[in-house]
Amino acid sequence: MARILAITNQKGGVGKTTTGVNLAASLAAAQQRVLLVDLDPQANATMGSGIDKRGLAATVYHVLLGVRGITEVRKRSANGEYDLIPANRDLAGAEVEMVDIERRETRLREALAQVERDYDFILIDCPPALNLLTVNGLTAAHAVMIPMQCEYYALEGLSDLVATIKKVRLHLNPELQIEGLLRTMYDPRNTLALQVSAQLIEHFGDKVYRTVIPRNVRLAEAPSFGVPALKFDKNSKGAQAYLALAGEMLNRNAQTT
């Protein structure tokens, strides 16, 4: 049975999609069966996986509305060697259209139940907002991975996200936990980054991944070629960091099972 992780942070530009695509590819490289769900109307995870969002007849939008089954929209990322539930800009209207649908918060969970036995990991790339799409991701997940930059405003946003996770746990998904906090775009020469990192470890302890994702040009360049950094430049610091993160996750899971 798959371990389902929602990758979320309502703050934009913190590396959610970069993490989704590169972690999926790194877990796949470790012989894990991986499904990446693009739940963001910007569809960057879809494009970053080498799939053109403009040519899609069916996406996660149709799954959430119950028009298509999840296996009908599933694609294979040849570049990343994982499966993908793609998105496009149609998803932007899903929230309004789902208002009158029964069990609107659990649509994704019900869809993933049909395929979770096919995978070891399902990663959900949530949009940078605490909206109905994100609630669907949190309701479907076993745990939450929070990518964040080590800066002042990140701590403020983190408290809001933790409050939302508590509400979802109370009303929709009692098993939801914080899997881990991932420090992204990390520069150890930055004094503020070091201070915020220390605060995170003080408050969250071993929930903070030991692996940190550095600022890396190759990570930024890879999406324009529709490939994970692992396939773009395996020896880059960014690609190696995500391989290390995959290894850390697998070790954690092995210790808890």
Q: Could you read off the pLDDT of 169-190 as tens digits, one per residue?
A: 999 999 999 999 999 998 888 8
- Tokens 């490289």 locate to 29
Q: What is the mean pLDDT of residues 41-69?
A: 94
Domain 3-252 listed as CATH 3.40.50.300: yes
**What does the block give as tokens for 65?**
């509305």
Beta strand 177-186 with 34-38: parallel, antiparallel or unpaired? Answer: unpaired
Q: How confident is the model at residue 11 (pLDDT cuts 50, 70, 90)?
A: confident
Q: What is the mean pLDDT of residues 158-167?
A: 89
**What does the block give as tokens for 40?**
């963001």
Is 168 strand, coil or helix? helix
Q: Which spans in the chain are helix H?
A: 16-29, 44-48, 60-64, 70-73, 94-97, 107-112, 132-140, 152-171, 191-204, 217-221, 229-232, 237-256
More confident residue, 100 or 58: 58
- Short-list 54, 21, 76, 55, CA closest to 239: 21
Per-residue pLDDT at 192: 86
**What does the block give as tokens for 123?**
């990663």
Evaluated on CA atoms 17, 257, 181, 61, the torsion sign reads: positive
Q: Is the pLDDT of residue 257 over 70?
A: no
Per-residue pLDDT at 68: 95
The predicted model scores a pTM of 0.95
Q: Could you read off the pLDDT of 234-255 as tens digits, one per residue?
A: 999 999 999 999 999 999 888 7
Provide the 8-state DSSP code for 116: G
Q: Decide if 158 contacts 124 (C-beta within 8 A).
A: no
Q: How far apart are CA 85 and CA 72, in angstroms?
A: 10
CA 208 to mean position of chain CA atoms: 16
